[in-house]
């Protein structure tokens, strides 16, 4: 997002922390990705989706919430980088090396090298589930899956990660330097105002994304991992929502995504992480009409099922099909941000 005054925005974001800097900025490079969710009954065939993304858009990365073989096969020979996910209910099983090796044989090896698999996410926001079995087996599962990749000589190209809620930060407040580490909470952070000044660093924050990125960076620094690279793996703005939701419409969704893309690819970085770009995955590729919850949950899509834009998708379509969004933000009444952190097992 642009460094312009921002009173409010609606942001649903996931932070992806990857321990190997060269993996993100060297071998794979900075780029814009998209979350490809499939909780719907009206989506086009994966082969059609893969062809559309590779031929008609500038999207270079895709994150899947499972390891759907039809989708993995569809992205073969497209050059698009793919991240897959081990479902939460399989985490205890993955701690068994034989099971982990079979998982790799079934969900990874048949699709490479044609499909450019770069990452496996083990579970999704496991700590916030408060499920003691899942929590206790998460790291062992990551370790075992890593061993399975090593045994198959795949660990150089495919990394193991896991997404977490921002609840792993015990202090849900600003300024970012005051953020500490912890878990077993699932909270939302709300800030009102044109800008916020960190009393400790005297740094000025004009958008919530920078503040939350720096909060995570500060927590990592406390633990001695300040060199870990941060990737925004899930962020977006709905185009439709319930009447009580303010500022949700196609125009503001276009503005948000346009400003987001410009900001994360500009090299400006954040107040605590200047001169950086951030690998970013937009949520989401399609509206998902079977998702539960408020209507906005079903309306984050960039494209309709017929693959026409829900709104003018900024800096996404090839051949200048879509216009670049206005660089200024609207002023809204409230801002609520939910982020998740993904820690990588190297």
3-state secondary structure 71-126: HHHHCCCCCCEEEEEECHHHHHHHCCHHHHHHHHHHHCHHHCCCCEEEEEEECCCC
- Please, how many CA atoms are within 13 Å of residue 89, restricted to the half-sphere of its CB? 1
Choice among 2, 81, 125, 229 that is catalytic? 125
Choice among 2, 234, 255, 288 that is catalytic? 234
Concerning whether 125 is annotated as a catalytic residue, the answer is yes
**CA–centroid distance for 325 within its chain:** 21
Q: Rounded to an integer, what distance in angstroms lies between the CA atom of residue 159 and that of residue 244?
A: 41
- Tokens 């062992």 map to which residue? 140
- Tokens 């690819």 map to which residue? 265
DSSP 23: I
Task: Output the CA–CA distances (angstroms, integers) from residue 275 to 5, 118, 209, 232, in the order listed.
Answer: 20, 25, 16, 16
DSSP 169: B
Catalytic residues, by residue number, are: 125, 234
């Amino acid at each position: 997002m642009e460094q312009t005054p921002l009173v409010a925005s609606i942001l649903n974001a996931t932070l992806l922390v990857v321990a190997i800097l060269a993996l993100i900025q060297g071998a794979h490079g900075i780029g814009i990705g998209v979350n490809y969710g499939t909780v719907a009954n009206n989506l086009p065939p994966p082969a059609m989706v893969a062809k559309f993304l590779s031929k008609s858009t500038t999207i270079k990365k895709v994150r899947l919430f499972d390891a759907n073989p039809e989708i993995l096969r569809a992205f073969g020979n497209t050059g698009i980088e793919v991240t897959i996910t081990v479902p939460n209910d399989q985490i205890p099983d993955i701690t068994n090396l034989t099971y982990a090796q079979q998982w790799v044989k079934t969900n990874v090896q048949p699709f490479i090298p044609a499909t450019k698999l770069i990452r496996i996410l083990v579970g999704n926001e496991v700590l916030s589930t408060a499920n003691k079995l899942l929590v206790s087996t998460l790291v062992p599962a990551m370790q075992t899956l890593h061993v399975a990749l090593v045994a198959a000589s795949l660990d150089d190209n495919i990394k193991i990660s896991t997404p977490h809620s921002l609840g792993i930060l015990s202090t849900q407040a600003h300024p970012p330097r005051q953020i500490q580490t912890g878990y077993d909470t699932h909270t939302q952070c709300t800030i009102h105002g044109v800008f916020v000044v960190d009393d400790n660093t005297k740094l000025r924050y004009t958008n919530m994304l920078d503040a939350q990125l720096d909060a995570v960076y500060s927590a990592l620094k406390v633990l001695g991992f300040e060199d870990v690279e941060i990737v925004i793996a899930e962020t977006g703005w709905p185009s439709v929502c319930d009447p009580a939701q303010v500022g949700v419409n196609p125009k503001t969704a276009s503005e948000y995504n346009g400003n987001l893309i410009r900001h994360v690819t500009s090299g400006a970085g954040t107040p605590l992480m200047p001169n950086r770009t951030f690998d970013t995955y937009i949520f989401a590729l399609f509206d998902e009409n079977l998702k539960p919850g408020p209507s906005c949950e079903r309306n984050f899509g960039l494209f309709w099922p017929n693959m026409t834009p829900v709104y003018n998708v900024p800096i996404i379509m090839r051949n200048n099909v879509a216009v670049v969004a206005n660089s200024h933000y609207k002023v809204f009444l409230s801002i609520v941000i939910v982020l998740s952190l993904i820690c990588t097992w190297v």
